[in-house]
Structures are given as C-alpha cells and as structure tokens.
Structure 1
Amino acid sequence: MKPYFSIGEMSKLNNIPIQTLRYYDKIDLFKPNYVNPENNYRYYTIKQFFYLDIIKYLKYIGTPLEEMKKIIESNPESMYSFLDKQEITIQEKIRKLQDSQLLINKRKSQLYEQLLLQKRKLGVVYKRTIEERFILKVSCDQVNPHDNPDLYIRKLATVLEKEGSMVDNHYGCIYPLKNYSHSQEIYYDAVYTSIIEEPKIDLPLDIKVDTLPEGEYICIAFEWSPEDYYTYYTKLLETIKKAHVSTNGFVYEVSLPNNYTSSKEENFITELQISINR
C-alpha cells in the first residue's frame, strides 16, 4: 500500500477539489501529513481519509468552517452534543420548508379561485361552495369600508413573523349582516388573514384564532369602490331576504389584488361572502 498520496490523488479518491484541499490547509482545518520542503508538494496518508470524511459530513449538514475546526479538535461527547443541536436545527429547517410548501399550495389555490372570480359576471349574486378556513383575526371597531385596515394587518403580520411565518396577502374583514342606511354605518368586527396552523406563541388579547365554516355561501363580487360598496351590499342583502335564506349572520369581505406592484394604482376585486345555514 502506498505510504503517501499526492494532493491530486487525494482529490480524486475523495471526490473533493484540489483548491478546497489547499484552502483547508491554509485555514488549518485539514493539513497534509507531509510537505516536501524542496517543492512544497503536499502529501497525505490513508489514515487521513477518515478525518476528511468527517469534514465532508459536517459540510454536508451545513456546519460552518469555524465550527468544524472546534468539532474536529473535540472529544466524542462534544461531537454528540453538537449533532444533537444540529438535528434540532435541521428539524426546524424542515418545518419551515414544509410551511413554505403549504403556503405555496394555499397561494396557488387562492390565485386559482381569483382567476375563477375574475371570470364571473361582476355585480351579480351567486352561490358557491367554500372550504373551511383557519384564520387569525384582530378585533377592531373603528374601521369601515372607507378606511384602510393596513394597521390591523400589520398587527397580524407581527404575530406571524414572530412565529417565523409570513402574513398572507389574502386578507378579509368580518361584520354583522343587517340593515344599514349607508356604508359609513358598516363597522368591521375584525380583520383577518388565513393561516396554516395555530400560532404557538401567546397572543395579545385582541387577536384570536378562529374558523370560517365550510359550506355553501351566497356571494357578490365587484371591483373595489367605497362609493359603490353599499349598492352591492344592498343587492346581496335584498336577495337573501327575498329568497328567505337562513345565514349565520356575518359578512366575510375578501379583497384580492389584480396586480402586485406598488407603482400601479390599487386595483382589487372584492367578494362579499355570507355562509348559508345547512
């Protein structure tokens, strides 16, 4: 068996670039067993393959170089402790990736729903089935269709970002279904956003997790306009009264953006959804 391996042979046998081996030598992470003083050629022994495998493993699981140096110089107990912490870190990364996948799937579903909504004839009352939705909602009593609810959305975003999650740009408002004289009389009970799972942190008193029921809804969609809002609301309410439809007594207002750039004027399609009692 050969006593020494050149840096080129070490590179080929261990599937690692020569430049990487030189860099590891430079930072004192993995040094050759012998350096020829006449030509500075690096030589390694077969016993060093084992230690290089450890470095490759640590690199594979995302260990920083400085951390690698400490681990290699430590004992098995320290290595075990490190791997235990690394496992927790990886599990958290997996959880975030799974959450990201769920967010993508949910957003795709919302966009598909939005595309269907855009194909509907606006200003016409219709029925459709909506699946159960989990929401995070914040109480409010001084916001109506003529106001901007963004400050309340930021409250929800703060909670979700502390969780390491993101606020959905699909948000809505809830208010009682009843007779109003004009839209200025409509005040939202809550502003909400969709969530995948219940936050694990303590919530402020004005923020709660809730569920919007699955089932058939009676709806109307229109291009967002505070001036025309009352007209569409009244049309929906009158249809419910004439048809003697039994509802849960709440309006779920959802607004979906038609563009995603701040350089364009705001353009939303709004849908008013009312759950029909079974």
Structure 2
Amino acid sequence: MKEYFTIGETARLNNISIQTLRYYDRIGIFKPYYTDQENGYRYYHVKQFFYLDIIKYLKYIRTPLEEIKRFGSYTCTPEDIQHFLEEQESVIVQEMEKLERARQLLHRRRNQLNEQLDICRKKDEGFVYFRYLDEQTILKVETPQVNPHDQSDLYYRKLADVIEKIGDVVDNYYGFIYDFKPYKDSRDIYCNSIYTTVCNEKKIDIGEKNIRLDTIPSGEYVCIAFDWSAKNYDEYYQKLYQYIESHGIQTDGNVYQVSLPIDFNSLREENFLTELRVLKK
C-alpha cells in the first residue's frame, strides 16, 4: 500500500489547495514528512492526513492560525484538547452574540429607513397628519439648557459612548423632548432631554447620573414634518400647535422631535428631516 504522497496528491485527496499546504509548511502548522533535497519536492505520509483533518476542523470552527500552531506545537492529552475546544466554543458563542446584535441593528435600521421614507412623503404634502407609533425604549440625557437650534452633538456623543461600551452601535436616530407650549419663537424652547433608541437595554450599564433609560409611549401622534431650518422650524411648529389647539386635542404635554439625516456625505452641509410629534391622550 502506498504510504507517501506528493503535495499535489495530498491536496487532491484532502480537498485542499497546493497553495494552502505550502503556506502551512512555511508558517510551521503542517509540514511534509520529508522534502527531497535534490529537487525540493514535498512528500507527506498517509498517517499525517489525520492531523490535516484536525487542522481543517479547527479552521471550520474559526480557530485562528496562531492558535492552531500553538495547539500543534506540543503533545496534547485528551484533557488538553477538551479544554482547548471549550475555549473555542466560548469564542464562537461570543461571535454569535455579536452577529445577533448586528442582525437586530440591521433590522431596526431598515425599519427606520422605511419610516423615514414615509415621513418624507408626508413632508412633501406639508400638512398635519396622524400616525400610530409603538412604544420605544430610549436612552436619554438631560439637557435643561439646550435649544433645538443649538449644537447638541456632544450630548449625543455621551449617549453613543454608553451604547458602544456594551459592544453595540448607535444609530442615526435621535430626538429632543420638550414641553408643548405656545412659543412665540422656537429659540424660546428649552429641551428636557436628548435621546436615541436602543434595542439591548438589559445590558446597558449607565454610569452617569443625568443619563437613563426611559420609554416613549405607544399611541396616536399628531405630527408634522419638514426639512430642518430655523425658518421652517418656527413655521411648522406654529402650524402644528394651532391645529392641535383649534381641534381641542388633548395631549400628554410633550413634543417629541425626531431628526434623521437625509444626506450621508460627511463633506456636505448637514441636511436633516425633522418630524414633530405630540401624543394624543
């Protein structure tokens, strides 16, 4: 029975490329049984194929090459192998959790973009409209002196920092909450808080006193949307306020402003779609 095989035969019998075998030889993970000194040909013994199967298995479970090299650099007992595989299982579980969070973020972002497209259609009509919103879990920071016209990026970064510390990514959805009143000028508005939505609230550990988790209630909201500008803000807020007052609509006393970026080019001037929401009671 044949015991020694060329690199081409070894590659074909083990469903692996010649280039991969050469690379494994070069970095010391899987070396040929011997190399012909006259012509440089590599030869592998049939008994080595078992170890190649182990390497392929470890690669399949996403073990880094450095770990595979370390694993094969000394004689392992079954206990050593068991401990090694337990470590790899832990790594895989962590990766699965990251992928699940990424899937949730992707799903939420797609829903937000669908919502944004719907708001854009409403904005083009220029009228007050009603829509039902599900309850939202939010992370918010108290901002007693912030006006909707002020730069609020630093407050938003505080929220992003809390979310990123648990391995999640903050999305592009952020808003303000302030009192629903008959403001003569939108520069008289002072926001109670700035918020963003979250999906892994159970894992959030908040260290700062003025940041906390909260919810925006579900229900029917009276809304108006516009392209953000100081002029538009005054005009559309007044239109929304007058509509609610003239129709005798009871509210929870808050305005929930949502801002969504329209342009994702960082070199251009900021361009936001804004929606003002007031919850009917």
Tell me whether the two structures share a fold, i.e. TM-score over 0.5: yes
Structure 2 residue corresponding to 1:164, chosen from 154, 162, 167: 167
How many Å apart are 1:156 and its aligned residue? Answer: 0.7
How many Å apart are 1:85 and its aligned residue? Answer: 2.1
Structure 1 residue corresponding to 2:274, chosen from 267, 270, 277: 270
Report whether the alignment pairs 1:144 with 2:144: no
Measured against aligned partners, the alpha-carbon deviations of 1:147-206 in whole angstroms (never above 9, x if no partner) come to 011111100111111111111111111111123332222111111111112052420211
| Structure 1 unmatched runs, 5+ | none
Of 76-85 and 248-257, deviating more is: 76-85
Instruction: Write the distance in 1 (CA, Å) between the matches of 2:204 and 2:149.
Output: 33
Counterpart amino acid of residue 25 in structure 1: D
Counterpart amino acid of residue 97 in structure 1: L
In the TM superposition, 1:167-206 aligns within 5 A as: 167-198=170-201, 200-203=203-206, 204-206=208-210
- Give 1:247's aligned residue: 251
- Give 1:134's aligned residue: 137
- Give 1:75's aligned residue: 77
Q: Contact 2:174/2:197 (CA < 8 Å) preserved in 1?
A: yes
Relative to structure 1, the CA distance from residue 173 to residue 122 in structure 2 (aligned partners, 3 Å threshold; closer, same or farther) is farther
Report whether the alignment pairs 1:94 with 2:81: no
Q: Contact 1:122/1:221 (CA < 8 Å) preserved in 2?
A: no
How many Å apart are 1:13 and its aligned residue? Answer: 0.6
Q: Once superposed, what is the RMSD of the aligned Cα atoms?
A: 1.8
With structure 2 as the length reference, what TM-score do the two structures score? 0.91
- Give 2:127's aligned residue: 124
- Give 1:213's aligned residue: 217
Q: Contact 1:163/1:199 (CA < 8 Å) preserved in 2?
A: no
Q: Contact 1:172/1:254 (CA < 8 Å) preserved in 2?
A: yes
- Give 1:53's aligned residue: 53
How many Å apart are 1:146 and its aligned residue? Answer: 1.8
With structure 1 as the length reference, what TM-score do the two structures score? 0.92
Q: Contact 2:126/2:225 (CA < 8 Å) preserved in 1?
A: yes
Instruction: Write the distance in 2 (CA, Å) between the matches of 1:148 and 1:87.
Output: 46
Instruction: Write the distance in 1 (CA, Å) between the matches of 2:267 and 2:37.
Output: 65
Q: Contact 1:123/1:222 (CA < 8 Å) preserved in 2?
A: yes
Instruction: Write the distance in 1 (CA, Å) between the matches of 2:118 and 2:204.
Output: 36
- Give 2:27's aligned residue: 27
Q: Contact 2:126/2:226 (CA < 8 Å) preserved in 1?
A: yes
Instruction: Write the distance in 1 (CA, Å) between the matches of 2:101 and 2:59.
Output: 25
Q: How many residues align?
A: 277
SS in 1 for 2:117: helix
How many Å apart are 1:217 and its aligned residue? Answer: 0.5
Instruction: Write the distance in 2 (CA, Å) between the matches of 1:235 and 1:190.
Output: 23
SS in 2 for 1:180: coil
| Structure 2 unmatched runs, 5+ | none
Of 229-238 and 107-116, deviating more is: 229-238
- Give 1:8's aligned residue: 8
Q: Contact 2:30/2:52 (CA < 8 Å) preserved in 1?
A: yes
Structure 1 residue corresponding to 2:109, chosen from 107, 110, 119: 107
How many Å apart are 1:122 and its aligned residue? Answer: 5.0
Counterpart amino acid of residue 102 in structure 2: S
Instruction: Write the distance in 1 (CA, Å) between the matches of 2:84 and 2:183.
Output: 63
Relative to structure 1, the CA distance from residue 263 to residue 122 in structure 2 (aligned partners, 3 Å threshold; closer, same or farther) is farther
Instruction: Write the distance in 1 (CA, Å) between the matches of 2:22 and 2:161.
Output: 46
Q: Contact 1:172/1:255 (CA < 8 Å) preserved in 2?
A: yes
Instruction: Write the distance in 2 (CA, Å) between the matches of 1:182 and 1:27.
Output: 70
